[in-house]
Amino acid sequence: MAAPAMEAARPEITTPGPRLSDGATVLRRFSAAGAAAYAAIHRDPLNVQWAGSDPSMTAESAAVAIRDHIDTGWDDGRSLRFAVEELVDGNAAVVGTVSVHDVLRTASGGSASVGIKMLPAGRGQGSAARAIRLLCGYAFGTLGLDALHWRATVGNLPSRRLAERCGFVLAAEIPGYGHVDGGIAAGWVFVLTAAQWLGGPSGAGRSDAGRSHADPGEAGLPVRGLELEPVVPRLSDGSVVLRALADRDAPQLVENCTDPDAVRWTTVPLGYTSAHAAHFIGTITPDGWRSGKVLTFAVASAESDEFYGTVDLQCNDPGTASIGILMGTHARGTGAAEQAVRLLAGYAFDQLNLGYLHWHALVPNWGSRKLAWKLGFRLEAEVRGGYNDRGTPGDRWTLSLAAGDPRTPQEPWTGPDPLTR
């Protein structure tokens, strides 16, 4: 979908890592602000013994590691390390770290390894299992991976029990594949596939993260055979936020989708009602995240959480996605649309490792085309009859943006001012 362009231009922004939460545990990208906690994790005796951590790490050397290794991993998409954060004595505190590393992306999916190191404050409370389940939901539901691997040294029974509670299955015991107390030892390799995570070929399962603050694995509840609950990242530049749609957004969504410009230039259902909005929020959007085909975000004010509209990534072909956007009239002239798409593009390129984004607009929706132009999209073609305009062939503009392209206008604007009809 495409909406009229916002007039106010804003400076370039950078997309942060996603923020994942089940209500008790939060995963967020490790940053330099967490250097002291990262150093403490490495100095923990159990992490030194079983995970080969550096017992001499200081806050200063941790800051360097975060800058040189963790940030690089997020930038190239091969190693995504999160801080595990929970309330400790009423205050948010880092209690460990989890990662998806050695990420191998393919046209049909891919694989990665899982890593975890916890502090004493995060042990024995179910924190580790909740963090792993959030991580698996992100890896399978958002990154679209096919398999995750868990590596543990033979004899590290807490790691093995945690892996098995979270659904991982022992695949091999390999001599020399583990390490303990600085020496080489045999290693276990556990595997969890997307099909296992979803509960089998029917895809009728989900992670139970978010269902309860208690650790489901420790309570003896099954990890599989449950409905998948997609984890929607929360992205913000300090002015606007991309978040999951909520029931409270429904009234404004109805207003946005009955706006004459939305009806003219997009494919929203005619006569949009609260029933349409409820179905979109409660069924269509979660299904899109579960399948990985359409990733829809609400666009809201970072300060007040006022709902502006929606943006989405339509992921129909490997390595690419098309952008959809529909904003309310109250957001016009604020720059919110431009900021939202910049956040979305950063997420697509930096977190999903997509190579190209495409923008489609019904001719002559100059407002949509101008917004794409502001963001660096280049016109590739005008396809006659390429747009299904409610059952009537319409001409379609197709624009593209590559991962390495500047996200600023690449040529002077030659079109007219935005118009409606």
Task: Output the tens digit of pLDDT for each of the chain's 421 residues.
Answer: 444 333 333 333 333 568 888 878 889 888 888 899 999 999 999 988 888 888 899 999 989 988 888 888 888 888 999 999 988 777 889 999 999 999 998 877 899 999 999 998 888 778 899 999 999 999 988 888 999 999 999 999 889 999 998 999 999 999 988 878 878 889 999 999 998 887 643 332 333 332 222 233 333 333 333 344 567 888 999 999 999 999 999 999 999 999 999 999 998 999 999 999 999 998 899 888 887 889 999 999 999 999 999 999 998 887 899 999 999 999 988 999 999 999 999 999 888 878 899 999 999 999 999 999 999 999 999 999 999 888 889 999 999 999 899 999 998 898 886 554 3
Residue type, 318: P
pLDDT of residue 285: 92
Residue type, 269: P
Q: Give the CATH number of domain 20-197; options: 3.40.50.1370, 3.40.50.300, 3.40.630.30, 3.20.20.10.
A: 3.40.630.30
Distance, in Å, from the CA atom of 91 to the CA atom of 37, rounded to the nearest integer, reads 14
pLDDT of residue 1: 46
Distance, in Å, from the CA atom of 217 to the CA atom of 419, rounded to the nearest integer, reads 57
The 10s digit of each residue's pLDDT in 70-122 is 888 888 888 999 999 988 777 889 999 999 999 998 877 899 999 999 998 88
pLDDT of residue 213: 26
> 30 and 82 in contact (C-beta within 8 Å)?
yes
Strand partners, 310: 298, 326
For 219, phi and psi rounded to 5 degrees? -85, 0
Task: Quickly name the fold that domain 235-402 has.
Answer: Aminopeptidase (3.40.630)
Helices (H), 181-303: 194-197, 250-257, 260-265, 274-279, 285-291
What is the enclosing helix (H) or strand (E) of 63?
A: helix 59-65
Distance, in Å, from the CA atom of 402 to the CA atom of 361, rounded to the nearest integer, reads 18
Q: Which of 307, 326, 301, 331 is nearest to 238 (CA)?
A: 301
Domain assignments of the chain as residue spans, ordered by start: 20-197, 235-402
C-alpha dihedral, 236 to 242 to 243 to 244, nearest 10° = -170
pLDDT of residue 418: 53
pLDDT of residue 207: 34
| pTM, full prediction | 0.53
Identify the sign of the CA torsion 249, 255, 261, 266: positive
* Residue 190 CA: distances (Å) to CA of 112, 113, 148, 163, 186: 12, 10, 8, 7, 13
> 351 and 233 in contact (C-beta within 8 Å)?
yes
Q: Do domains 20-197 and 235-402 have the same CATH topology?
A: yes
